[in-house]
Structure 1
Amino acid sequence: MSLGRLWTIARLELLQRVRTVSWYVLLGVFALLLVGATFLAFLSFGGQEQTGPGVYSTVVYITLLLVILVSPTLSGNSINGDRDAATLAPVQVTLATTGEILLGKFVASWITGLAFAVVAAPFLVIATLAGGVHPATVAVSLVVLVVEIGVIAAIGVALSGILARPLFSVATTYLVVAALAIGTVIGFGLVGSSMVTEVTVSERSAVYDENGPVCKDGGTDCWNEPENMVCGDWTTYTQPVMRFDRVWWMLAANPFVILADATPTQLDRDGNPEDVFGYLKIGVRQTQIPPDTESVGWDECSPMEGGDYRTPQEILDQTVPSWFVGLGVQLLLALGLLGWAFARTRTPARALPPGTRIA
């Protein structure tokens, strides 16, 4: 494989995009959306001790969201679009190999997606200058963002080589990306809510008369002394509890969950997350913890206790990260599709769909 030929193919692909006015219009619209998102993020996190982490994480997530929405259109027709335009066959009869053509178009699509991250860079700098953003958060989040952009580009390029029709390959790319970003959440909710366990709940209330709770010492005011209240009998019943702890792994391949789970969590002095990464990570990690099947629901006659409430740090300590598993699944999917696209694009072709244009 020649890196020179690979880069030549990638450069030609990039030149075709840069020469169009629509490309600059798209980047301009993206910048305007980031202006609005950054302004709203400053308003939303303005009441926190540190504004920077919340604004920074919001801008990164908006960038990833817009790349997911736009990248399939840019990469989903890179190979079959050239085949329809009769420009793929002339390249295939040169010294460029099938692998170089495929990887060249992938590199071009990846760079195209990274252009959106470049547009977002000034807004990330503004959020960082607002204070409170840790260098580790910046480094890890940007690396994961770059990798996710590459995965989406690889899926689009691969499907454009597998499927003969550009419109169908673009639509399929959207469906695959939507399955990762949205389908995992829908599957998690539907499957988790269908798994139910009966949990025993016990409750006990104080005995009341016309003056309020009856007191053990014969007094008339023990509202603030639950241990001095005369207690009634325990009542026990069962209620269904959904078992999301059995299907939490379905969220592992979600791009937004991978980004949150891989990024180091910043906690404020009260132990709460400072950014969107932390809130999403805590929410997803909490689904790993199974519910208690024997639970005391409420006891009015005992001093108030924390119950089974867990702090964000305790949730992180009791659960395991899953980002590397999800990212591995995404990479295997992208590599598998690229391998299939290689088999469909190599020449001489053994079989092509009816009506496929060669030259």
Structure 2
Amino acid sequence: MNAFLSGTQVILSLELRQRVRGTAWYVLLGIFVVLVAIVTILLSIALTGFGVMGSGDAGGNIYSAIIYFVLLLGTLVAPALSGNAINGDRDAGTLATTQVTLVTTGQIVVGKFLAAWITALAFLAASVPFLIYAWLVGGLSVTSIVVSIVVLAIELGIVAAIGVGLSGIITRPLISIVATYLAVATLSVGTLIAFSLGGFAVQSTVVSTSSYGMTYSDSGEPLGCSPATTSTYETPRFDYLWGILVANPYVVLADAVPTSYDQAGNPQDLFGYIKYGVRTAQVTPDLTVEYDECTEGVGGYMDQGPTAQETIDSTVPGWFVGLAIQTLLGAGALVGAWARTRTPAGKLPTGSRIA
């Protein structure tokens, strides 16, 4: 075990030194800090304009927006930093030189994965001052802070694992980088598209029976109602397909973070609102709708329904399933990279160099 860790540390050290050797990396971090600062300032101004700044919701809104912004930029940058980790060295002729040393294939793959993960975590570290600002504004719980940071770090690690894995499986660096972006896009955007299109493709018929007032009293109450009329319409069945969303990294983050509510049962941050939207998809639509104005009174059909807190409490979380799916994808990619890179190789990709 010590020998494996020692070899992994060597690869990790070499990778990190190569990544931070030039000025481009620091310029990229500087641009990221500027963007986060702009988002934080604009969000603070907007919340002040809406009268939210100074309330219990302000800190949570700013904090959740920053965390999501870090996740967004992390998923945009991590594929470029990890998608050519192995095949880039193969093209440069340095991978073969490394393979003839005492370092094993597993140490190479794991070391490059850890280096890519640490590089992605640098964006999270750069956002710490702004997260502290959100905490000082107020409205944040320690549990929400810890859970969100841990889940965000894991998500960045999964993206790094997918990138490094595909760089070992695919021969050409450009193709592996594009494939990593496609994998991230499938999880982030593809799940939303599949959920939306699938929900509208699978529909059920709703039978609506209505009876409206024909004569009214001076106070506006109906004195006599029309005969009941029945109509039908189609409604999408998102409750059949909500499981697709659990693989989305943004949904996983929102669903994992404990939700804080105001007195009306509404979420106090972006995490809570996204969680509420996803959990609402689990609710089975009512396929039989009845409204009798004479019985329910004018406006009786305007049922407010359950609060966001009631909806979240009555549905089931799915973040751990999504995290497990993503972890399996990342681990599978790393195993594939190990199998493709191990030596002695029975079959080499075209153009591979032999030390």
TM-score with structure 2 length normalisation?
Answer: 0.94
Gaps of 5+ in 2: none
Could you give the per-residue CA deviations for residues 232-257 of structure 1, whole angstroms, max 9, x where no partner exists? 22211000000000000000010000
| Alignment: residue pair count | 346
The alignment partner of 1:230 has SS state of strand
Q: What is the match of residue 266 of structure 1? A: 260
Aligned pair 1:333/2:340, yes or no?
no
Q: Within the alignment, does 1:288 sit opposite 2:282 as a pair?
A: yes
**2:226 maps to what in 1?**
232
Deviation at 1:300, TM superposition (A): 6.6
Separation in 2 of the partners of 1:20 and 1:296?
69
- Which residues of 2 match residues 201-280 of structure 1 at below 5 A? 201-207=208-214, 213-215=215-217, 221-223=218-220, 226=221, 228-280=222-274
State how far apart, in whole Å, the 1-side matches of 2:136 and 2:289 are: 47
* Partner Cα distance (2:24, 2:110) in 1: 25
Give the CA deviation at 1:41: 2.0
Amino acid at match of 1:36: I
Rg: which structure is higher? 1
Matching of residues 113-124 of structure 1 within 5 Å: 113-124=120-131
Aligned mates of 1:222, 1:37 — CA distance in 2: 52
- CA displacement at 1:301 relative to structure 2: 5.7
Aligned partners of 2:62 and 2:134 also within 8 Å: yes
Q: After superposition, what is the alpha-carbon deviation per residue over 1:72-121, rounded to whole angstroms, capped at 9, x for unaligned? A: 00000000000111111111111111100100000000000000000111
User: Which among 202, 217, 227 is matched to residue 195 of structure 1?
Assistant: 202
SS of match in other structure, 2:234: strand
The letter of the residue matching 1:154 is A
Change in 2 beyond 3 A, CA 1:112/1:144: same
The amino acid of 1:290's aligned partner reads: T
Q: Work out whether residues 231 and 301 of structure 1, in 8 Å CA contact, stay in contact via their aligned partners in 2.
A: no
Q: 1:90 aligns with which of 80, 86, 97?
A: 97
- Quote the offset at 1:336 in angstroms: 1.0
Question: 1:7 maps to which residue?
Answer: 9
1:131 aligned partner:
138
Distance 1:55 1:201 in 2: 43
Alignment pair present for 1:342 and 2:349: no
Q: Secondary structure at the match of 2:343?
A: coil
Identity of aligned residues (%): 49
| TM-score, normalisation: structure 1 | 0.93
Tell me which residue corresponds to 1:321.
317
The correspondence for 1:64, drawn from 67, 71, 92, is 71
Aligned partners of 1:237, 1:358: CA distance in 2, in Å?
A: 74
Contact 2:224 2:294 in 1 (8 A): no
Deviations 1:19-64 (A, max 9, x none): 1111111111111110111112223433332210000000000000
Once the two structures are superposed, the pairs formed by residues 168-183 of structure 1 within 5 Å of their partners are 168-183=175-190
Distance 1:104 1:300 in 2: 72
1:233 and 1:358, CA in 2 relative to 1: closer, same or farther beyond 3 A? farther
Name which of 323, 346, 351 aligns with 2:347. 351
In structure 2, give the amino acid aligned to 1:202: T
Let me know the Cα RMSD of the aligned residues: 1.4
- Deviation >6 Å, runs of 4+: none
Counterpart for residue 159 of structure 2:
152
* Cα distance change on mapping 1:31 and 1:337 into 2, 3 Å: same
**Judging changes above 3 Å, is the alpha-carbon distance between structure 1 residues 156 and 297 closer, same or farther for their aligned structure 2 residues?**
farther
Aligned-pair CA distance for 1:354: 1.8
**What is the aligned counterpart of 1:21 among 17, 20, 23?**
23
CA deviations 1:262-318 (Å, max 9, x no partner) are 000010122110000000000000000010111125737623446371111110121
From the superposition, tell whether residues 298 and 179 of structure 1 become closer, same or farther in structure 2 (CA, over 3 Å).
farther
**Residues 235 and 39 from structure 1, CA distance in 2 versus in 1: closer, same or farther, beyond 3 angstroms?**
same
Distance (whole Å) between structure 2 residues aligned to residue 272 and residue 182 of structure 1: 26
Structure 1 letter corresponding to 2:25: W
Unaligned runs of 5+ in 1: 208-212, 216-220
